[in-house]
Amino acid sequence: MKAIVIEGFGDPADTIQLKDMPEPPPPAAGEVTVEMLVLNINPSDLLQIQGLYGVSKPPLPFIPGGEAVGRVSAVGEGVKGLAVGDIVSPMILNCWVERVNIKSSLAMKLPAGIDLKQASMLKGNPATAVALLNDQVVLKPGDWLMQNAANSAVGTFLVKLAAQRGINTLNVVRRDSAVEGVKAAGGTAVLADALDDARAFRKRVREATGGADVKLAIDAIGGAATGVMANALADGGTIVNYGLLSGEQCRIDAQHLIFRKVTLKGFWLIHWFQEAGRERLAETYATIAKGMADGTLTTPVAELIPMAEAKRAMSAAGEGGRAGKVLMTTLAFGFTVGNG
């Protein structure tokens, strides 16, 4: 079978290797074999391959990929609730492989009719959006939040979840061509703004919201953008940073923290996994899976690229200006949808 292997950190398109690996043995007691179908490529994957993600680098060599959807192809002794053919989300961090044995408790069963492309994105981005919306600031229907990178996968999910709750969203994108897509997803207001002029941005926010207080800002960019968004927050507001798309650390003027009582927080989904508890996780993912199955909680897909062309997939995923996610497909996916 094939797996994507990293033996040295660097540019993903240059660094990744598609290697032949031994087939997994028959699953042991309590295990299942998962045959991967669609592999998601997240910014965190690209950063990890560069050695820039988290507080430490993974030991080399390693198989990357934090997210995928697969099908159970074999079941070990004593496994209950899973059968061959079930579609599952593997709750592991080394997903870019054709087949793998995992504990049955780490194979989350999904609705039979779920779209496989959407299901490959279930674990990370929508859960991040749920946690950013629900766990940071108490918001009521009619309240406002703002976010940058609003046309990203997390941004799209957050727009849809907020709209379902009657929460207004002020959404910032980098280019005019992205505005209509965010509006179509349910964004209350959408601004194309470079986030390089704090005073001008504050004025635009007040105009877009009718002067309403914005209590929460979601920041995926970091760098100067953090401070620009903080300047447009209401006094006592909270800005939550969950990414550094700028490649720079968050920069925020101390006056916002000291005199305006603005709070700057960081968010990492791994910590949320550890703190949420089994019941909350099950409830969250059941809701997300239902939304994906009925089409109310989806995000655009820009391109499906075969795993055999993984280098091209890395380049495509790293490019700006895309109108959706870049996903990789295995040979098994082709057979699943009748293309093999």
Residues 166 and 88: their CA atoms lie apart, in Å, by 31
Determine whether 53 is an active site residue: yes
Distance CA 292, CA 69 (A): 13
Q: Which is the catalytic residue, given 4, 12, 48, 53?
A: 53
How many residues comprise the chain? 340
Whether the Cβ atoms of residue 265 and residue 291 lie closer than 8 Å to each other? no
Distances (CA, A) of 304 to 90, 116, 175, 313: 20, 12, 24, 8
Positions marked active-site: 53
